[in-house]
């Protein structure tokens, strides 16, 4: 089901991520070539692009795992490049990251996987508060009955949901989704897309969704940008891009529908 329009024009919210003139190279390989991007409060933005186009590099720069060569990056009113280690850790607590692989600890139960970020980052939190937070996060992703199961006992879709629940446990202001529907069947993909919309509505998160899945982009995002050869093409709603005369955009859409 296509994403419902729950709010007014998405550019009315305050910026939570502002990127200007961002460059990143690895040796002679220039990955990002002076990109600009603004994400507003409460907005879901999809970043489309083929494998190797620099989508994951962008995410790593946003959370401070990689440093840009040039350009500015402001996240939640913080200039990321100017933050020291402690300040960067504090900023990361306000950002939820849903990994493509879900990145669950196989030796921990679902409950322990979700409790871990709380125990590590919120000192002296009473056991009862941890239990309540885990229960709320599992309920938010529709898996309240899976707390005592091990990751190996879960389906691929359930692992994705648990990964999102763990990202939500600290109630982040920004969610970053890395290929949330990768490797999933169409029915499970649709369920994950619906969950992304529910997270946005319930938690008022602002999100960047890294994907090459056109259905995911169409059904979850207020706006879509395309990363091609290290640069962003003009952004817009799905239908605007689908009907564009821009040949690079048309080629990308055609390639994905063929695949």
User: DSSP of 60-85, one letter per residue?
Assistant: HHHTTSS--SEEEEEETTEEGGG--H
Q: What is the pLDDT of residue 10?
A: 45
pLDDT of residue 228: 86
The domain limits of the chain are 53-85, 93-222, 226-259
Burial classification of residue 235, based on how many CB atoms lie within 10 Å of its CB (0-12 exposed, 13-18 middle, 19 or more buried)? middle
- Over residues 68-111, the pLDDT tens digits come to 999 999 999 999 989 999 999 999 999 998 887 778 899 999 99
Q: What integer pLDDT is reported at residue 255 of this predicted model? A: 58
How confident is the model over 58-67, as pLDDT tens digits? Answer: 999 998 889 9
Q: Looking at residue 3, what is its pLDDT?
A: 55
Nearest to 54 by CA among 95, 27, 25: 25
pTM above 0.85, yes or no: yes
**If we measure between CA atoms, which residue out of 179, 169, 229, 226 comes closest to residue 203?**
169
Successive 10-residue mean pLDDT values, the chain, 259 residues: 46 86 95 95 91 86 92 95 92 89 88 92 89 93 94 92 92 93 91 93 93 90 91 84 78 61
Distance, in Å, from the CA atom of 11 to the CA atom of 58, rounded to the nearest integer, reads 21
pLDDT the model gives residue 8: 38
Question: Going by CATH, does the domain composed of 93-222 fall within 3.40.50.300?
Answer: yes
In angstroms, the CA 254 to CA 259 distance is 9
Q: What is the chain's alpha carbon radius of gyration, rounded to the nearest angstrom? A: 18
pLDDT of residue 5: 45
């Amino acid at each position: 089901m296509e994403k419902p329009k729950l709010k007014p024009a998405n550019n009315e919210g305050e910026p939570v991520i502002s990127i200007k003139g961002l460059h990143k190279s690895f040796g002679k390989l220039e990955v990002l070539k002076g990109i600009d991007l603004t994400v507003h409060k409460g907005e879901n933005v999809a970043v489309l692009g083929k494998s190797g186009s620099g989508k994951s590099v962008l995410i790593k720069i946003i959370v401070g795992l990689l440093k840009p060569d040039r350009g500015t990056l402001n996240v939640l009113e913080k200039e990321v490049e100017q933050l020291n280690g402690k300040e960067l850790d504090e900023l990361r607590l306000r950002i939820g990251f849903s990994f493509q692989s879900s990145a669950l600890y196989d030796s921990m139960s679902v409950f322990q996987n979700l409790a871990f970020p709380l125990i590590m980052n919120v000192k002296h939190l009473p056991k009862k508060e941890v239990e309540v937070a885990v229960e709320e996060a599992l309920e938010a992703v529709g898996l309240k009955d899976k707390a005592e199961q091990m990751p190996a006992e879960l389906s691929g879709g359930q692992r994705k949901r648990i990964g999102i629940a763990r990202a939500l446990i600290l109630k982040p202001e920004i969610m970053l989704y890395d290929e949330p529907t990768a490797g999933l069947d169409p029915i499970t993909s649709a369920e994950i897309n619906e969950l992304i919309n529910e997270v946005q509505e319930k938690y008022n998160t602002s999100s960047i969704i890294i994907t090459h899945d056109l259905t995911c982009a169409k059904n979850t995002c207020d706006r879509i940008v395309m990363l091609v050869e290290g640069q962003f093409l003009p952004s817009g709603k799905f239908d605007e891009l689908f009907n564009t005369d821009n040949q690079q955009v048309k080629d990308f859409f055609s390639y994905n529908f063929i695949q």
